[in-house]
Amino acid sequence: MYKRHLGFLFVLCTLVLLGGCSSTSSESRASSWLGGGANDDSTTVYRLTIQTDSQVIGTGQTLPMILKITSFGGVPVNSGTINLTSSNGGSFDGDSETNAKGLARKIFTAGNTAGTTLISASYMDAVATVSVQIQPVSVGVAKVTVFVASEQIKPEQTMPIQIYIADDTGAPLNATDVKLFAAEGGTFATSEGTTSEGWFSTDFTAGAAVGQETITAMSLCQTGSKTISVRN
């Protein structure tokens, strides 16, 4: 009888000890899993690009630039402030922040010192640079004019546009490079090309959203713009 009681107590103690060990092990696994989740983090990666129509300008001349910021996955960054510097002097003007498309238009004005300047743009962890040669002799300033078939079109409607490039005397410039940009999502049948007797023609298609759209032409370090209304 006494031996049976001892055997029963031994089995009972063994079960209690095993149950206690099992509970501690389960709690440890749960704590480790939660800790791993708490330590997870993600880093947003930004991408910054600079577009210019030339990398050679004269002293005191201007260079239009279009900058674009996108975040991870190519999503445009709205209201982003881009910091700009030039290693050889000069100044910057233009948009203070990016628009809903992640775009900002800036104008760089070269200083009076000839040579190479490195223009650096930065936003958060993104950096972009472009090297510009500043020549000591200024050339005649071109005039860029944008002509549109209508100052009001419907969303996703297409219309012809023309760009006229002339020198500082008003004479047409032939075989001159032209680049086109739309600030609010519009597209061009041909976004770049060369003039013929001063003219460059293409078709513009408005974006799907209503509002104001600005069409900008860039040529010989100069720009011309035309703002139209996109309405239903």
Enumerate the domain spans of the chain: 44-138, 140-232
Close Cβ partners of 117 (under 8 Å, ≥ 6 residues apart):
86, 87, 88, 89, 90, 110, 131, 132, 134
Domain 140-232 has CATH 2.40.128.50: no
SS (H, E, C) 48-80: EEEEECCCEEECCCEEEEEEEEECCCCCECCCC
- What are the Cα distances from residue 201, in Å, to 31, 148, 155, 179? 68, 10, 21, 11
- If you search the block for the tokens 């300033």, which residue do you land on? 141
Least confident of 21-25, 129-133, 212-216: 21-25
Q: Which residue has the higher pLDDT, 14 or 231?
A: 231
What pTM does this model have? 0.46
Same fold, 44-138 and 140-232: yes
Cβ atoms of 91 and 119 within 8 Å: the answer is no
Is pLDDT at 32 greater than 50 in this prediction? no
Cβ atoms of 215 and 228 within 8 Å: the answer is yes
Q: Six-digit token pair at 169?
A: 């005397």
The confidence band for 9, taking pLDDT boundaries of 50, 70 and 90, is very low
The whole-number pLDDT of residue 65 equals: 94
Is pLDDT at 19 greater than 70 in this prediction? no
Which residues are paired to 117 by β-bridges? 132
- What are the Cα distances from residue 96, in Å, to 33, 62, 79, 99, 115? 46, 18, 9, 10, 28
The confidence band for 43, taking pLDDT boundaries of 50, 70 and 90, is low
User: 44-138: which CATH number, 3.30.70.141, 3.20.20.100, 2.60.40.10, 3.40.50.300?
Assistant: 2.60.40.10
- If you search the block for the tokens 């974006």, which residue do you land on? 207
Please tell me whether residue 126 adopts helix, strand or coil conformation. Answer: strand
